[in-house]
Amino acid sequence: MRMVDIITKKRDGYPLSDKEIAFFIKGYTKGDIPDYQASALAMAILFQGMDKREIATLTHEMEYSGETMDLSKIKGVKIDKHSTGGVGDKTSLVLCPMVCACGAKVAKMSGRGLGHTGGTLDKLESIPGLSITETDEQFIDQVNDIGIAIIGQTSELVPADKKLYALRDVTGTVEAIPLIASSVMSKKLASGTDTILLDVTFGEGAFMKDLESARELATTMVEIGNSLGRNTKAVLSDMNEPLGYAVGNALEVKEAINALHGNGPKDLMELCYTCGSIILEQAGLASSKEEADTMLHKVIEDGRAFQCLVNMVKAQGGDISYLYEPSKWVLSNNIIEVRSDKEGYIKRINALAIGEASMKLGAGRETLDDLIDMSAGIILDKKVGDKVSKGDLLCTIYTNKEDYNELIPDIKEAYEFVSSPVEVHPVVWEVVE
């Protein structure tokens, strides 16, 4: 079998056989197939696509390109949740403790942020002392003991994806839905959970810019998960404005703490309650959405959800005093109010512009080697639908950099005003099963 024949076959629009896909993944992982041939195949896939069988086979081969997690020693149904990324997306910090408090076993591996999107691991690491590295045995023991662990992916899991992901990033093939779907699902499947809930975001601040593309990606990933024996569902959520009010690592953790005390932003809580209800039904812990919703509200009201976060942070070496006293987080040296030059109703807040501004303030990284300022970011004061007068506070920026003034015009431009009241759309648009 020759790699050039596989490339030309896909280039000409023909489906690849299971053996050809296995040959490619095994050879590329081992280093026998060079980057230039892998990138040629990736480009052919971008243009010609893949059918359901091809994508399922690609995912399966990537999943088993390295080690997989055996979570059979964890008692109960193991759940996992994954977001395709966004701005202000601290959902995991709220949702995972909520479902844990309802009896779900949360065995989650998360990622870091890159560009305008924030990563759950970076947010967790803003808590002093917290470690996102554990052995398999520690991970399993922690989930058995307290019901929840959120750690980083080990280097042995899905090595094929690491190589392909880096290659796609520099060859213009990131947008290929078969490659996105197999990348996400191979990691989720290799991590060994029983159920998977996908939060597929769309809009300005998301990777998928429109609902139709998000639906196609979500449907593809759900089909992969279910065809490979995992209970998989997805929600399509709106990322045309930042989620919640806080954007930036420590700022988002503080907002998550408020949410677990029952004071969360409306859009964030809508997403968490919707996702939580689906997860509890997937895990067999609730027989209906109504029952699940009641359970989730109860664990917020009685403090059990917050206690699950405390238990996880403590188990992973974090200083829990910051959870009880969020004022202990050191604020940025520069705290600047951004006020409106216009008046009217906010029709749109460009999440991409806010995310990129937050990154430039120090809250994100342009390359994986960049250091993050955990205190930096933006806190919105107004959201879509709010009425604004000239001079009203739009947001507050936090940074230790001194060149922040050049970002203020871009932040103001992120807000679009109209003269008439604006209809506020729901965060969750669809559920894909």
Beta bridge partners of 388: 344
Quick one: the chain helix, strand, coil %, rounded to 5? 50, 15, 35
Beta partners for residue 94, in sequence order: none
82 is catalytic: yes
- Strand 195-202, strand 231-238: pairing: parallel
Annotated active-site residue 341? The verdict is no
Reduced to 3 states, what is the DSSP secondary structure of residue 231? Answer: strand
Supply 34's token pair: 């060079």
Q: Give exposure, 67-88, as e/b (b: 16+ Cβ within 10 Å).
A: ebbebeebeebbbbbbbbbbbb
Clarify whether 17 is annotated catalytic: no
Q: Which residues are CB-contacts of 155 (< 8 A; sequence separation ≥ 6)?
A: 162
Q: Residue 17 corresponds to which tokens in the numbers above?
A: 């056989």
Which among 78, 112, 168, 233 is annotated as catalytic?
168
Active-site hit among 92, 110, 126, 183: 183
Sequence-distant (≥ 6) Cβ neighbours of residue 379 within 8 angstroms = 245, 246, 247, 248, 251, 395, 396, 398
The residues, ordered by sequence, that sit 6+ positions from 209 with a Cβ below 8 Å of its Cβ are 202, 203
**Amino acid symbol at 305:** A
240, 179, 180: which is closest to 206 by C-alpha? 240
Tokens of 30: 């081992």
- Is 168 among the residues known to form the active site? yes
Strands 246-247 and 377-380: antiparallel
From the list 81, 187, 233, 254, the catalytic residue is: 187
- Which residue of the set 80, 89, 122, 161 is catalytic? 161
Catalytic residue status for 116: no
As a whole number of angstroms, the distance between CA 337 and CA 400 comes to 15
Which residues participate in catalysis according to the annotation? Answer: 82, 161, 168, 183, 187
